[in-house]
Amino acid sequence: MSIEALLAILITAGLICLMVGAQRVVKRDRSALDKRLRRYGGRAFQLTDDEQKRAASQQVTQMLAKRVEASLSGRTFAAALQTDLARANLRLTVGEFVIIQVAAALVVGMLAWLISGAPFVGSVFAALGWFIPKIWLGRRQSGRLKSFNNQLADTIALMSNSLRSGLSLVQAMEMISREGEPPVADEFQRVVREIGLGVGPQDALLHLVRRVASDDLDLMVIAILVQFEIGGNLSRILDSIASTIRERVKLQGEIRTMSAQGRMAGYVLSGMPVAIGGLLMLIAPSYMGALFTPGPWLVLPAAAVVGIVVGSLVIRKLVAIEV
């Protein structure tokens, strides 16, 4: 095929495409496009049955949580519980957490009642189930605090190096929030966000201390606040604080290693009577019920509870070494 013939074919095809395109532009026939759009957008958006049930249950839960929150507002324990939730980094309100406690008590109590067949056993286990979310909250809070303290020395050293390189304190905290690891990065990100919303750096750091109950963090914040008031070389102060915290963390790890046997013995000696008593109440409620019938032998379970509590406190006091 010659070049002239190939050019003629290409020109003819181009003219045909131009004519067809011009005809569509002039007529503006949108019937095909409208037909395709009606296939997807002709009906109103509808939720499935499962999604409707889930949305309804979430709405009921939110309404109930708001009512519980309103009834508990102003109470001392509600403020303390809100502080614990913030320290554990749980995005729950006080009302939602109380609902979780009630649900845990009902579930554990009903299961114990069905297994044992005794309402008294169900009530006892319901009382224990009420404290299960609280125990989990305390363990989550202590674990988060331990992780924070372990990361704090390196964080302070990074802040000191940033100040020495010419960054401001806010810029150093912003860099920590970007490059650090949780939970330190999360907490400093809150500090930077509060400063961005207009809160002063001193107040934002005080809020940080209130959220994280750490003595090492308190020492760092006090040093920064003193430097705000009287001035000084903050990077050198932070270096000495970081060195002190590293030594404290190292010494605490050695102490925990040496006292692990004593702590485990305390857990076993305190938990074994409670576990065996609860198991016997489930499988033989009539056998354990004799201890709780009116009479002078009611002193026995009371003395057992007092002995367990006193023994666990003594063991905890012996193995707790302050650094």
What residues contact 119, with CB distance under 8 A and at least 6 apart? Answer: 113
Which of the four pLDDT bands, split at 50, 70 and 90, describes residue 203? very high
Instruction: Please give the pLDDT value at position 5.
Output: 58
Of 1-5, 123-127, 230-234, 246-250, the one with minimum mean pLDDT is 1-5
Instruction: Please give the pLDDT value at position 2.
Output: 61
This prediction has a pTM of 0.71
What residues contact 83, with CB distance under 8 A and at least 6 apart? Answer: 210
Average pLDDT over residues 284-311: 82
Which of the four pLDDT bands, split at 50, 70 and 90, describes residue 319? confident
Rounded to an integer, what distance in angstroms lies between the CA atom of residue 212 and that of residue 148?
9
Asked if the model's pLDDT at residue 27 lies above 70, the reply is no
Long-range pairs for 238-241: beta carbons < 8 A, 24 or more residues apart: 238/156, 238/157, 238/159, 238/160, 238/163, 239/157, 239/160, 241/156, 241/216
Instruction: Please give the pLDDT value at position 155.
Output: 92
Average pLDDT over residues 230-252: 87
Which of the four pLDDT bands, split at 50, 70 and 90, describes residue 36? low
Q: Is residue 110 a contact partner of residue 125, using CB atoms and an 8 Å limit?
A: no
Per-chain mean pLDDT for the chain: 82
Which residue shows structure tokens 């409670």? 274
In degrees, to the nearest 5, what angle opens at C-alpha 105 toward C-alphas 290 and 91? 155
Asked if the model's pLDDT at residue 56 lies above 70, the reply is no
Asked if the model's pLDDT at residue 77 lies above 60, the reply is yes
Instruction: Please give the pLDDT value at position 86.
Output: 85
Of 39-48, 105-114, 124-133, 203-212, the one with minimum mean pLDDT is 39-48
Would you kindly state where each structural domain of the chain is located, as residue ranges?
A: 59-140, 143-251, 260-319
Instruction: Please give the pLDDT value at position 189.
Output: 92
For the stretch 169-190, pLDDT in tens is 899 999 999 888 888 999 999 9
What does the DSSP 8-state code read for residue 217? H
Of 54-63, 140-149, 214-223, the one with minimum mean pLDDT is 54-63
Asked if the model's pLDDT at residue 92 lies above 70, the reply is yes
What does the DSSP 8-state code read for residue 75? -
Tell me which fold the domain 143-251 belongs to: Receptor-associated Protein (1.20.81)
